[in-house]
Amino acid sequence: MGSSRVRAALGRLAREWASVVYPEECILCAAPAAAVCSPCRMRLSALPVRCETMQVRGFSLPLYSCDPSVADDVRRIVAAYKDRQVRAAVTPLAGMLSRGLAAAWAQHPQRLRVVPVPPTRRAVRRRGYVPLCDVLRRTAYPPGATVHLNGLSWTRAVADQRGLDRNRRADNLRGAMVCRDPDLAGAPVVVVDDVVTTGATIHAATEALLSAAAVVTGVVALTHIPGRRQVASERQSG
């Protein structure tokens, strides 16, 4: 009898785990799907990649992300993957990142180095895996592009960015990253992040790469949160 209760309890746990990792409803519309249903995927991929200009160290960098009309949808998919561990969401996220990298490559058709923003040790301990690196491993890359998963690292612990305003975020991250990858010196680099808000993390990553003599040609993100950053200009790319 005791064994039966144990088996029943384990079965419930397995079903609950499966419902989180392999949900039966689309994250966006609740239709039957592993993570994002085909119509929602088609809607997300039908829109052009957005290209904005952000200021870093006094010069302009292009930032490629999803169209603003679906930014909140993409944020929901990212949150499901990162915070609820909906692992099936990695496939649509990798597809969106592939499109952003293709747009960046089209503007700078050369041997690009792709460098992700590193996760904090706190985030790795909390989740047990690195979501952005998992997405990058499943991403299709332009010809000649190489991925440097360990291109950036943290020099010190930083506070949780949530709840901090723009200035406090910048102070929290200033000088907190370093690039120790000699292969990036003199090379064209694209910085990759999942969600951009104030841009403080991108600034810290870019400054670390520039200090290591890398040539940062752009930024690719899955999405940004509208109204949080000052955008100098905007244009559409395919």
Q: How confident is the model at residue 160 (pLDDT cuts 50, 70, 90)?
A: low
Rg, C-alpha atoms of the chain: 19
- Name the amino acid, one letter, at 154: W
Compute the distance between CA of residue 39 and CA of residue 24 in angstroms, rounded to an integer: 15
pLDDT of residue 164: 57
Q: What pLDDT is recorded for position 228?
A: 44
* pLDDT, tens digit, 9 for 90 and up, residues 165-187: 666 666 666 767 899 999 999 99
Give the DSSP H or E segment for 142: none
- Closest to 131 measured CA to CA, from 107, 149, 113, 108: 149
- Cα gap 47→96, rounded to integer Å: 11
- Indicate the pLDDT class of residue 3, thresholds 50, 70 and 90: low
Q: What is the largest CA-CA distance in the chain?
A: 71
Q: Which residue has the higher pLDDT, 19 or 194?
A: 194
pLDDT for residue 173: 65
CA pair distance 184, 151, nearest whole angstrom: 8
CB burial readout 72-101, b (16+ within 10 A) else e: ebbbbbbebbbeeebbbbbebbbbbbbbbb
Q: Is the pLDDT score of 232 beyond 50?
A: no
In this structure, the number of other CB atoms found within 10 A of the CB of residue 153 comes to 13
Query: What is the structure's pLDDT at 129?
Result: 80
The answer to which of 33-42, 69-78, 157-166 has the lowest mean pLDDT is 157-166
* 3-state class (DSSP) for residue 80: helix
